[in-house]
Chains A and B, each alone.
Chain A
Amino acid sequence: MSSGVLTMAGKVVGGVGRLNWGIITVLCAIAFIGVMMHFSVSEGAWAGMPLTHSMRFMSLLAVAIVLAATPPRWWYEAAYPLYGVVLLLLVGVEVFGETRMGATRWLSIGPLSVQPSEFMKVTIVMALARYYNDLRPDRATTLLWSLPAFLLLCVPVGLVMHQPDLGTGMLIAFAGIAIVFLAGLSWRYIVPALVIAAVGAVAAYQFVLHDYQRARVNVFLGLADDPLGEGYHVLQSKIAIGSAGLFGQGWMQGSQAQLNFLPEKHTDFIFTMIVEEFGLFGGLLVLLLFAMLMGLAISVAARVRSQAPNAYFQKLAVAGVAATLACYVLINTGMVMGLVPVVGIPLPLISYGGTAMTTLMVCFGLVLSIDNHRDSASARRVR
């Protein structure tokens, strides 16, 4: 009994040496930038947002390291059950959900208030990875055998969009589509699908989107000019970025952010504040860190040995995490510069908020776990 616990602890400690320290370092660097920005938002007060943000990150990093010790097989086995539970929670949101600010996203379970759509970002990646892992490789290219995957994807996306939560729904969809793409769906279907998607987007604009979402799209497309309404966010953000220059106005010196002209500066628009205070170089540094993180994840996927059990699940899941991360970053930074419409998507690890950080750190727990156990078979042989 006690020896079992000792073995377990020994595995965790032994695993530390093989942890992917590159990924952990980049995660810490990004989170540190977040802390700095929250320090600036709080006008130099440590208590409050900067403290919470760093405590949150430290605990979640610990969780990710513990998760790194879990064998990838556990993730594989848990993929469908977890997907099922989260899907049930999403249905629960539909039925019992708590409505805040016009959207039903939260579910209260005892003292906890959870947002199941966030968990779906992880579980969709796992479930689809498992589906393609179990599928005969040649079938992955066909439309017919892709249909179950789309079903797995569309049900949660539909539920999330209905909440309505356009940003999260899009992220889940992109993560799922990325895996379907990686799994090898033939271009013969991809190209028509893109066309249908374009038509669908127009149709969605007309019939599915809520008025506030449509207003944002209108402003983005230049169909509506509304500098004090929906366009205000982006205009103020552009002003802040445009006036920043190469090195910015200095930490805690950005007038747009510090004087509250910039809305949502601690959440969705935090990238603007980074650029305003640290300039073009600050912005490029953040982008570079995220690109590094993505690259490190992709390299983990590439290094999964094909002889390993569930190797394909591991590859797809890790690549799916990388794709989700890229979506987060691109949509968020594109949004604050007026490249894409304003949708509520935070900048991972930097924006203030626990749910998105939890999701992402769990995702990287998965990546670390897979990387950690890359050579487990051979390691055991050596020992």
Chain B
Amino acid sequence: MSGDRFTRRSLMLASGGVVGMGAVAVRMAHLQTSDFLSGEWTEQARENRYDRRVVTPPRGIIYDRFGVHLATTRRDYRVSVIPQDVDSDPRRVTPQSRQADLTRTIGVVAGLLGHDEAWVRRRVREAMVANAYEPFVLRQGLHWDEFCAINVRLPELKGVSADDSETRSYPLGPVFAHPIGYVQKPTQREIDRVLEQGPEGERRAVYLRTPDVRLGKSGLEKTMESTLHGEAGWRLVEVNAQGRPVSEHSGGERKPKPGGGIVLTIDADLQRTAMEAFGEQAGSAIVMDTVTGDVLVMASAPGFDPNLFVNGIGQQEFRALNEDEKHPLYHKALTGSYSPGSTFKMVVGIAAKQAGLTDDWKVNCPGFFPFGGRNFHCWKRGGHGTVNMHSAIKGSCDVYFYRAALYAGPERIANVARALGFGQTYGVDVPLPGLNVTTAEKKGIVPDPAWWREIGRGKWTDGLTVNFGIGQGDLQVTPIQLAVYTARLASNGRAVMPRLVREGPGVREPQAFPMLPHLDPSHLAAVRAGMYGVSNEGGGTAISASNLGIVRMPDGRIVRATPETRNLPPVRIAGKTGTAQVRVITAAERLRGVKSNDSLAWRLRDHALFVCFGPWDDPRYACAVVVEHGGGGSAVAGPIAREIMRETLLKDPSRRPPARLAQLEADGREVPA
């Protein structure tokens, strides 16, 4: 019967429907149960819903020894555009329309900021490939009036916003460019490198791509990165499927841990004095505290503005800096290697004394020294006449030290040179052990017969020893080594070690420096007396440096000389000039008459050096100055050193109470943002 069959089959169909719906219900329940067990779907929904936005930590502040801000964080005004929001007709968006709208909008901004067509084209090109829902930064570092001008026009500039962010700032600019360095956006290479480190590296790469993240690229910013950077925080922002934030509602956050501050040993005033003293000259100056090893000045001239690098330096600007023959980007104080020239003569003198040479030992200087079939010349063409060690140092007699070097022998000279600080690095820019960064310092070269053999040049000759005696030849030293050397001489042979960071996480208080072994203080005293003669006695090569125009008050304070202070004792310094030959003078040239430095191209002129310490009667500060291609040491380097030393002695920073980091950090936090 068809009726029964229909009933049977319709029931079958109905039950099929019910079974189907049951299957759907079971599937639904299963999806939810599996989520209940694993949390998988909830987690995915949460991941969809919230975007984890990196919150960059404020970078640690770098202070000078008295709390002056050298590297800090300042408000930066910037103008951004959200490409998605510029469309004049959001319902019909094509790449062409987007590009046209961006060009129009950015064109208006460029008009307000005074940028040209090329700038607009470049920005449009970049904005077209940026995330359309995120603000794309058109320009940072707006002046207040520019910021206002943009703000006034904002209502008609759809998609444009002007806001502020925190950016690294170097208030003293070029003055501290080298010791502090600068930060920059991580490069693609750095990101690629961390990407190779597995899943952890991927997370790190995501962080490095965050627009506000900056890493130290040179100087202490680089070596102290781990201290200064701090720990990033994050915030969960509710976003829609296009990645656009939809509410202020946050799904949780972790506050960033601010970077730690550091206090340098440098005195910002003296550093500025040093940089100014160089004027147009290139070179470097270091001032050290001979008791604590504190580096008070570490200047490399010319400077450059590190602020240019923070938000990306233009290619042309960078090329101009990079190709400048005065090498402004070069940290000359640590990485410049020079022949020490006559500033090395104290080493030779001490070595000769160690070998048994006495003060009675006198040499007649006719202006040249015939040896090994050739003439070694003295800088003074007529000669010095008869000289002993004191007058030889004072007049910088080359002939005396040619012979003193032969007397001492190269090994002894090299040993004394190393003991006094040459041929080694101090890691002054890497103040913490285990930072996984290497010092920028150059080691320099202290030659001796063993080294000579090692590099495959065969047997050392006495001719080399003669040259060694006046600090020429293969000998290479850096300004920081010259400063350490001078400090060790001044402290009568203590193993003074330089330091750049007074206070910071993990930085330890220095111990008192021990006496250097194998050095006789009387030998040091003898050469120091010669140095005194250089700048204070007739015949001294730097007698012009003698009058610093400062006197010591009865209470010990050092002040500028005035008519009222004429009866007070002047404060004196002791020093030594040096001239490092840049090019070898040929015999033919000597016959024609040596050309004066002034008639040579700048880059062929000799380097001028000057080392000194003061006050003479109670040495506290040691100073080394190198003026690249400056000509003679006395004419160029001496006045710069005198200027720096006068200011140093007047301020006497070692006797003033330094700033304490804890206090500085506490003060800093009270300042309203």
Contact = CB atoms under 8 A, between A and B. Distances in A.
Given A182-B9, A241-B28, A302-B10, A326 B20 contact: yes
Interface stretch (B35-43, B109-117, B472-480): B35-43
Interface stretch (A28-36, A78-86, A211-219, A327-335): A327-335
Interface residues of A, number: 48
Given A181-B9, A287-B24, A339-B27, A259 B241 contact: yes
B48 to A, nearest CB: 5
B450 interface: no
A244 B238 CA distance: 18
Interface residues of B, number: 40
Given A255-B49, A295-B14, A243 B42 contact: yes
Contacts of B25: 283-284, 287
A280 interface: yes
B2 interface: yes
A315 B8 CA distance: 13
Contacts of B20: 326, 330, 334
Contact of A287 (B6, B21, B34, B40): B21
B118 interface: no
Contacts, number: 130
B32 A333 contact: no
Contacts of A301: 10
Contacts of B588: none
A258 to B, nearest CB: 8
B2 A259 contact: no
B45 interface: yes
B437 interface: no
Interface string B233-246: 00000111110001
B14 A242 contact: no
A328 to B, nearest CB: 11
Given A238-B31, A241-B31, A259 B246 contact: yes
Interface string A177-213: 0100111100000000000000000000000000000
Given A239-B41, A239-B48, A312 B17 contact: no
A280 B26 CA distance: 10
A269 B530 CA distance: 95
A243 B45 contact: yes
A261 B13 CA distance: 37
Contact of B27 (A140, A183, A294, A337): A337
A372 interface: no
B3 interface: yes
Contacts of B13: 178, 181-182, 298, 319, 322-323, 326
Given A243-B42, A315-B6, A322-B14, A333 B49 contact: no
B7 interface: yes
A290 interface: yes
Nearest to A242: B41
Nearest to B4: A184
Contact of A243 (B14, B18, B41, B242): B41
Contacts of A149: none
Given A242-B42, A333-B21, 13 more contacts: A184-B5, A241-B28, A243-B35, A243-B41, A245-B35, A259-B48, A261-B49, A298-B11, A312-B2, A316-B6, A334-B24, A337-B24, A337-B31
25 contacts: A181-B13, A239-B44, A241-B31, A241-B32, A243-B46, A245-B35, A255-B45, A259-B238, A259-B240, A275-B28, A283-B28, A284-B25, A287-B21, A291-B21, A294-B14, A295-B14, A302-B7, A302-B10, A315-B10, A322-B13, A326-B13, A330-B20, A333-B24, A334-B27, A337-B24
Across the A-B interface, give the 4 residue pairs with the lowest CB-CB distance, nearest first.
A242-B41, A326-B17, A137-B2, A243-B45
Interface of A: 137, 140, 178, 181-184, 236, 238-246, 255-256, 259-261, 275, 280, 283-284, 287, 290-291, 294-295, 298, 301-302, 306, 312, 315-316, 319, 322-323, 326, 329-330, 333-334, 337, 339
